Amino acid sequence: MTEPTDAAPVSQTAQLYDNLRAAILTLDIAPGERISERGLEARFHASRTPVRAALSRLEREGLILHEGRSWTVTPIDLDEIASLAELRGVLEPAAARLAVARAQPDAIAAVRSHLDALRPTPDRQAGIRMGSTFHLDLAALGGNRFITDAVADALTRLERTRWIEVRTPEARDAAWQEHSDILDAVQRGDADRAADLVAAHVAGTNDRLLGFIAQERRRLRGAGMAIVGAPDLLAGGTDADARAGAGAGVSVASGGA
């Protein structure tokens, strides 16, 4: 009779983790918003142990911060975004070169089939899923699990911002085409072209994101999003300005509109 009792907290923790992670990554819970343990206990009819276990797991992923007795959703950090772009700019071209050298034709064809199945991408969630899946598939083709794990971690940390970057159907179509061009180069065995296209894609994604935040920073902060770091990238904003929306408790259901 002990197994169901022991399994219940584990199952409850997993469900809480999945629900909270989805709410944070889709911006339903805004960057900078405070999270109450008691509020989560009441909302999900959960005990304290699974709530804390779920929060600790999210903290390890860098999605929330633990400050004393309170929890806060990690702000969107422009310095972190820039650092992750640098990391991806090194790792993903290397992964593309390894894919050309190591991947079997049937493995490449499977990635092509998966990519083609995701076009057109009618909604934002599908577009984000497409992007994450493609970049993980490309890394996996290279056959280096440490690169794949590092790319996966970077994508998790960037997922909230990607709800902003792929905000329009045109942006999602452009991302799909760039992914397709990269895979074409891998299929042709052109390592230099594949690496160059990946590097340009990562840099372009970063530039579009920062450009949008610079353009819409006041509206984003007004919606309760805490944006910190690299104030020069916000066209004259300051860290104090960027934190103005922190803790406002405003849910943003659809990210950048």
Integer Cα distance of 231 and 137 in angstroms: 34
Integer Cα distance of 142 and 63 in angstroms: 28
pLDDT tens track for 47-64: 889 999 999 999 998 899
Q: What percent of the chain has pLDDT over 70?
A: 81
Whether pLDDT at 168 is above 60 = yes
Nearest residue to 133 (alpha-carbon basis) of 121, 122, 197 = 121
What mean pLDDT do residues 159-180 have? 81
Q: Got the DSSP string for 11-60?
A: HHHHHHHHHHHHHHHTTSS-TT-EE-HHHHHHHHT--HHHHHHHHHHHHH
Tokens 């490309």 locate to: 138
What mean pLDDT do residues 89-111 have? 98
In contact, 204 and 218? CB cutoff 8 Å: no
Q: What percent of the chain has pLDDT over 90?
A: 41
Task: Please determine whether the domains at 2-74 and 77-245 fall in the same fold group of CATH.
Answer: no
Q: What is the DSSP letter of 224?
A: T
Report which of residues 30 and 221 the model is more confident about.
Answer: 30
Report which of residues 175 and 101 the model is more confident about.
Answer: 101
pLDDT tens track for 180-222: 999 999 999 999 999 999 999 999 989 888 888 887 777 777 7
What mean pLDDT do residues 71-95 have? 94
pLDDT-derived band of residue 232, with 50, 70 and 90 as boundaries?
A: low
Highest mean pLDDT among 69-73, 170-174, 251-255: 69-73
Report which of residues 164 and 214 the model is more confident about.
Answer: 214
Report which of residues 232 and 119 the model is more confident about.
Answer: 119
The burial class, CB within 10 Å (0-12 / 13-18 / 19+), for 139 is buried
Whether pLDDT at 88 is above 90 = yes
Q: Where do the domains of the chain lie?
A: 2-74, 77-245
Tokens 């590097």 locate to: 199
In CATH terms, the superfamily for domain 77-245 is GntR ligand-binding domain-like (1.20.120.530)
Helix (H) or strand (E) holding 70: strand 70-73
| CATH 1.10.10.10 describes domain 2-74 | yes
